Homo-oligomer: A and B are copies of this chain.
Amino acid sequence: MERPTLQSVAKAAGVSPMTVSNAFNRPDQCSSDTREKVLKIARELGYAGPDPAARSLRRGRTDTVGVLLTERLPYVFTDPGMVAFLHGLATTLADAGQALLLLPVEGNARHGHVRNAIVDAFVLASLLPDDPAVADVLERRLPVVSWGQPRLPGVLRVGVDGARSAAKAAQHLLDLGHRRFAIVTLGADPDGDGGNRVRGVHQAMAQRVAGFTRQLRHAGVTDVTVLEAFSNTRTASAEAIARWLENPTATAVFAVTDVLALGVLDAAAARHVAVPAQLSVVGFDDVAEAAASVPPLTTVSQSLFEQGALAAQTVLDQLAGRQPKSRPIRSEVVVRGSTTSAPAQPQAGRRSR
Binding site for B on A (CB under 8 A): 3, 46, 48-49, 51-57, 62-64, 73-74, 77-78, 80, 83-84, 86-87, 90-91, 94-95, 97, 99-104, 106, 108-110, 112-113, 115-119, 139-141, 235, 288, 292
Residues of B with C-beta under 8 A to A104: 90, 94, 100
A52 touches B116 (CB 8 A): yes
Query: Which of A90, A99, A119, A235 gathers the greatest number of chain B CB atoms within 10 Å?
Result: A99
Closest 10 pairs between A and B when the two form their complex, measured CB to CB: A77-B83, A53-B56, A74-B87, A48-B139, A100-B102, A52-B118, A94-B109, A53-B57, A73-B90, A57-B57
Residues of B with C-beta under 8 A to A118: 52-53, 56, 62, 64, 118
Task: Quote the shortest CB–CB distance from A191 to chain B (angstroms).
Answer: 18
- A140 nearest in chain B by CB position: B48
Residues of B with C-beta under 8 A to A97: 109-110, 112-113
Residues of B with C-beta under 8 A to A103: 99
Q: Other CB < 8 Å A-B pairs besides A52-B115, A74-B87, A99-B113, 18 of them?
A: A48-B139, A51-B57, A53-B62, A55-B116, A57-B57, A64-B118, A73-B90, A74-B84, A77-B86, A77-B87, A78-B83, A78-B288, A90-B102, A95-B108, A99-B102, A99-B117, A102-B102, A118-B118
Tell me how many chains of this kind the complex includes: 2
Residues of B with C-beta under 8 A to A62: 53, 118
Residues of B with C-beta under 8 A to A56: 53, 56-57, 118
- A90 nearest in chain B by CB position: B73
Contact (A94, B74) CB under 8 Å given A49-B115, A52-B118: no
Residues of B with C-beta under 8 A to A55: 116
Residues of B with C-beta under 8 A to A48: 115, 139-141
Task: Quote the shortest CB–CB distance from A303 to chain B (angstroms).
Answer: 14
- A293 nearest in chain B by CB position: B235
User: CA–CA, A46 to B142, complex, Å?
Assistant: 12
B53 touches A101 (CB 8 A): no
Residues of B with C-beta under 8 A to A115: 48-49, 52
Which residue in B3, B95, B108 is a CB contact (below 8 Å) of A94?
B108
Contact (A73, B99) CB under 8 Å given A53-B118, A54-B57: no
User: CA–CA, A292 to B238, complex, Å?
Assistant: 12
Residues of B with C-beta under 8 A to A77: 77, 83, 86-87
A63 touches B116 (CB 8 A): yes
Residues of B with C-beta under 8 A to A235: 292
User: CA–CA, A63 to B110, complex, Å?
Assistant: 14
Contact (A141, B46) CB under 8 Å given A73-B86, A100-B102: yes
User: CA–CA, A55 to B53, complex, Å?
Assistant: 9
Name 10 interchain pairs, CB-CB below 8 A, sorted by A. A46-B141, A49-B139, A52-B115, A53-B53, A53-B57, A57-B57, A63-B116, A94-B104, A99-B101, A101-B102
